Amino acid sequence: MFNFIKKVKDFYRPPMPPKRNPPKVPIDKNLELNLERLQAIYHDSSDLTIKRMNLKLSDGTAEVAIITMEGMVDKETLATSITNPISTYNEIAFSNGDIFKIVEKDIITNCDHMTVKYIGEVTTYIMSGFACVLIDGCEKGLAVGVQGYSFRSVTEPDTEVLQRGSREGFVEPVRVNISMIRRRLRNTNLKFETMNVGDVSQTEICLCYLTDVVSDEILNEVKSRLENARLDTLFASGYLVSYLESSGDNTLFSGVGVTERPDTACAKMCEGKVVILVDGTPSALVVPHIMVENFQTLDDYSERPYFAAITRWLKYMSFVISILLPGLYVALAAFNPEFFPAQLLTRVATSISKTPFSVFSEVLLFTFIYEIMREAGLRLPKTLGHAVSIIGGLVIGDTAVNSGFIGAPTLMIVALTVICSYVIPDLYASVAILRFLFIIFGGFWGLWGIFLLFCILMINICSKESYGVPFSSPIAPLSLFGLRDVFVRADWQTLSRRQVTVQDLIEE
């Protein structure tokens, strides 16, 4: 029996393959040999472009190869920075030994260039939109920045809409995202650190942080987890979340935040957090992440403090309603109907008597149907979206009530719960699972089941940590200094005196 369980476990989670560490092949003096190696690496791929040119010397000519990837470079910049200067250069007062120095300092006009010494570096740069210049007789080359690939323009993010904030959101190219952060934080302590993750995709990621605010322990731990991330491909930032989480963390709430806004990312860095940008993904990861941050938006800091406090309380109440209301309704209707007011009890009893399902089955079924409709509306093409709206109005609406398939109180409960769950979109996945759990516990064990699951949820939140920071801070452990920006928001004259940082939460 134990051997069978072990085989099933090994089949589901096989051992990790050894990490691929390809040997470093240095650039050879023989240009033809270097080009043959590159063509072999890319299997003569059609988008590998090699342009050969001759550079005039005092005792003859030297052959130069310009290596690019088609569609990854700006042809005008390539011509202005590399090909035209090489073809028109007519200085013959140097010998072959000075070729590389002259090309680097006098011929290449682009300031964004660096020296490469290995074939692997050449492949990395040309796949990032650089042009690599190799010279016959030189054991090193030049990688010149001539990026010109097409990408989506900077627009307002759909998931984080603000009334009085910036209209800019992250886009797919990591370099563009870096520039948007740099433009907002003109601070010499702002540092960007790049690395590649994914043995096959070799995706570039960038760690962004303020050196004078970030915790060295957290920064080193983030780097260690990313370096040990055993991934073949990395096509979305969500691939990294499980590696950035603590090992063995199976809670419903994530200790890794996600944002599509550069201004939000800058605000998190000012609190001592690390922002991770992934090339090809218009969202950034933020670590560490705590529970109360799910209820905060940049609009809170643009409004008056009293209005921001009301908004915060609405979000907290919406969270509680979205996870508890269906379960409480089921528990009270099935086990403790005496808690209903007399008039409401009459309506609930009449509704239940006219429908073919029990209250528990009704709420569970229509919550499940709504999740199906939500997923269909999310995945369907926009041209078919109106069809889902029409059908949704029939399935969950007056038609369903009039047909006797669902009771009006159940419809009201499900609709109110769904609306409340959209108030805090960052927690929607967790709320959806918790909603089903509370319905099941309330349907089987009544109010005692609701109370038991709620206690388990609170213990789970209070016991979780994210890089040494308590997930429930600054509420538990209690920090009066940190509470200035939790249930209410202090005015900027108070907040600007000293900002709450990650280090403050760790020390508490």
One-letter-per-residue 3-state SS of 199-245: CCCCEEEEEEEECCCCCHHHHHHHHHHHHCCCCCCCCCHHHHHHHHC
d(CA 195, CA 186) in angstroms, rounded, equals: 23
Compute CA 161 distance to the chain's CA centroid, rounded to the nearest angstrom.
17
Q: Which residue has the tokens 């009270």?
A: 332
- Single pTM value for the model: 0.84
Q: Cβ atoms within 10 A of the Cβ of 98, count? A: 14
| pLDDT, position 381 | 72
> Three-state SS for 344?
helix
Q: Which residue has the tokens 């805090």?
A: 424
d(CA 58, CA 389) in angstroms, rounded, equals: 76
| pLDDT, position 96 | 46
| pLDDT, position 438 | 95
d(CA 211, CA 221) in angstroms, rounded, equals: 15
* Six token digits for residue 344: 């409401």
Q: Cβ atoms within 10 A of the Cβ of 1, count? A: 5
Q: φ and ψ at 390, to 5 degrees? A: -65, -45
What does DSSP say about strands 190-197 and 130-135: parallel, antiparallel, or unpaired?
unpaired
Ramachandran area for residue 60 (φ above 0: left; ψ -120 to 50: alpha; else beta): left
Does residue 49 contact residue 126 with C-beta atoms inside 8 Å? no
Does residue 286 contact residue 268 with C-beta atoms inside 8 Å? yes
* Six token digits for residue 163: 């009334």
Specify which residues 63 forms β-bridges with: 54
User: Along the chain (508 residues), what's the average pLDDT of each consecutive run of 10 residues?
Assistant: 54 58 79 90 86 77 87 85 80 58 77 84 86 88 83 80 82 89 89 87 89 89 88 86 81 88 90 91 91 86 85 92 93 88 82 83 87 79 64 66 77 88 88 93 93 92 86 82 81 75 67
> Three-state SS for 399?
helix
Q: φ and ψ at 256, to 5 degrees? A: -120, 120
Q: Which residue has the tokens 């900002």?
A: 499
Does residue 284 contact residue 259 with C-beta atoms inside 8 Å? yes
d(CA 419, CA 285) in angstroms, rounded, equals: 27
Does residue 361 contact residue 326 with C-beta atoms inside 8 Å? no
Does residue 191 contact residue 185 with C-beta atoms inside 8 Å? no
Q: Which distant-in-sequence residues (6+ apart) come within 8 Å of 108 by Cβ?
A: 81, 82, 85, 133, 142, 144
Does residue 401 contact residue 366 with C-beta atoms inside 8 Å? no
Give the start-to-end residue ranges of the domains of the chain: 31-145, 174-289, 305-463
Residues in the chain: 508
Q: What is the 3-class SS of 411-469, one letter each residue?
A: HHHHHHHHHHHCCCHHHHHHHHHHHHHHHHHHHHHHHHHHHHHHHHHHHHHHHCEECCE
One-letter amino acid at 454 equals F
C-alpha distance from residue 476 to each of 8, 155, 286, 290, 473 (Å):
40, 38, 21, 11, 5
Q: φ and ψ at 61, to 5 degrees? A: -135, 155
End-to-end CA distance of the chain: 48
Q: Which residue has the tokens 């797919």?
A: 172
Compute CA 21 distance to the chain's CA centroid, rounded to the nearest angstrom.
27
> Three-state SS for 479?
coil
